[in-house]
A and B are shown apart, each in its own frame.
Chain A
Amino acid sequence: MEALGINAAGLLTQIVSFLILFIGLRVLLYKPILKVLDRRSQKIKESLESADKAKQEADISRDEIQKKFDEARVEGQEMIAQAREIADRFKEEELAKARSEIQAERSKAEAEIRQERDAAIEELREHFAGLAMSAAERLVSRTMDEEAHRDIIDDVLKESLKIK
């Protein structure tokens, strides 16, 4: 053993030195580094998870927004259609109203015209009646028989009606 260089003092020194190194590295190196490594991997795991969650949430909200957008578009289209319909109806109504007003005006005008004409005819007829009366008076005054008298009146009346 001596020839190989093995001796108790050397062996013990080496054992103690190695144990000091072992304990020292454990305290100074392995514990802090492993702690940091573990903490970091934990952190990475957590942030990956939260990123996943955020992505899911973003997906969901994007879907929601899309849905709302679609809804709004449909709604808008509906509103436009409705408005158009209302406008059409309004136009129609206005048109009908205007037409009926025009109609009413026209019929009123026609009635007035007819009234005027009737009045004119009546006036004319009265005028002719007056003429006839005066003619008759004149005839009566020239004494004529009654029959000739009546014929003359009728003729006058007939003529006056023809004017109409």
Chain B
Amino acid sequence: MASLLNRPKLLVALVAVVFLFCLGLAGGALGNEFGGGFIGSPLAHIQLAAEPILSAPIIRGLPVFGDVYLTNTMVTTWIVVSLLLLLAYLGTKNITDTPGRFQGLLEAILELFLGLAEKVAGPTKGRMFFPLFMTIFLFVVTANWLGVLPGFGTIGRFEPASEVIHHAEKKLKGDGDHVDLSSIHLHKFEGDGRFVFIPFGSIGDVLTAKEIEGHGHGESKNGDRAGLLVPFFRSSNTEINTTLAIALIATIAVHWWGIRALGIREHIGKFLNFRSGPIMLFVGLLEGITEFARVLSFTFRLFGNIFAGEVLLIVIAFLVPLVGLVPFLGLELFVGLIQGFIFSMLTLVFATTATMGHGSEGH
């Protein structure tokens, strides 16, 4: 304690953090149970599917796709892609043999992963697998880390109650069911015109669609506007389409490399093996099933981890706002890095085994 008194800056910071933590504890959902809750807002709406950030579809009635909406995960993916391409462009614009700091950083990252790929797959195959291996890592990690930034999930479009009900009705169309209005939860927003917000201390202000029935465009009795927040930005990997897309690309690439290395007959022969008796045929079929399972495990491992992380952050921000979130932000950064590494590393390992031939596969 004596040493802490000698360092006034640290002491002030510590006191501030403790104060903010207590404030959050009292002002959040936990404090709400004891009469506090002056900072908190209702638990954010959590849904699996990505939300469209424009109410109208950007393309209407395509043959296979139907109405195409611009979703918040698409926007985030494009931000990730642009950011990485911009960094790559800036890093290699004036490329020299005696690198500056930024080029040195890029070189260090690439060299680390190239070394890893070459160690796992061998020098020539490592070079072949490296671009996909590296891209998966960079994309997944950048997307995960962007998702931790403030503004993700908290800034967005106000979707009025009528629209929310309309979407719910559209989903059920064809089933002949009626929408259960009491199952649709809405938040109360304040403000008027173009800028609305969920105010502090509104933890209890959750309405169901049934309550505002007959009040026109989502206006409740006392003039508040009911609706939902549709965030502009949502971490790319919290949508299954993103993780499924990477999983499909990785799996197709693995099989493509397998066919290229062994020839199509031997590669398919690993899964449809009629030459080595019924047991090997069964083993081959099992391996074939494993290939499909891999796509699913790829998809849901990444999706599950990042979606769960997002939900965790939302819940913690609901329970203990302000600084309660900080350790979990660190945790999410760590999880985001690890998931990126796992995804890319598994792709590398699968690619290596797929190109190794029958004798060394699956024993």
Contact = CB atoms under 8 A, between A and B. Distances in A.
Nearest to B83: A21
A145 interface: no
A24 B241 CA distance: 21
A112 to B, nearest CB: 102
A99 interface: no
Contact of B107 (A15, A26, A33, A43): A33
B256 to A, nearest CB: 13
Contact of B131 (A20, A25, A43): A25
Interface in A10-24: 10-15, 17-22, 24
B110 A15 contact: no
B217 to A, nearest CB: 27
A6 B240 contact: yes
A141 interface: no
Given A11-B245, A25-B134, A34-B110, A4 B92 contact: no
B235 interface: no
Nearest to A10: B241
Contact of B65 (A12, A20, A28, A34): A12
Nearest to A1: B240
B249 A13 contact: no
A20 B81 contact: yes
Contacts of A39: 97
B240 A33 contact: no
29 contacts: A5-B47, A5-B48, A7-B49, A8-B66, A9-B66, A10-B71, A11-B245, A14-B236, A14-B244, A14-B245, A15-B248, A17-B78, A17-B245, A18-B249, A21-B80, A21-B81, A21-B85, A21-B135, A22-B132, A24-B88, A25-B134, A25-B135, A28-B85, A29-B110, A30-B130, A32-B92, A32-B95, A33-B106, A37-B110
Would you list the 5 A-B pairs with minimal beta carbon distance, nearest first? Answer: A5-B49, A14-B245, A10-B241, A29-B88, A28-B88
Given A17-B74, A21-B135, 19 more contacts: A3-B48, A5-B49, A8-B66, A9-B69, A10-B74, A15-B248, A17-B81, A17-B245, A18-B77, A18-B81, A18-B139, A18-B245, A19-B249, A21-B81, A22-B249, A24-B88, A30-B130, A33-B95, A40-B97
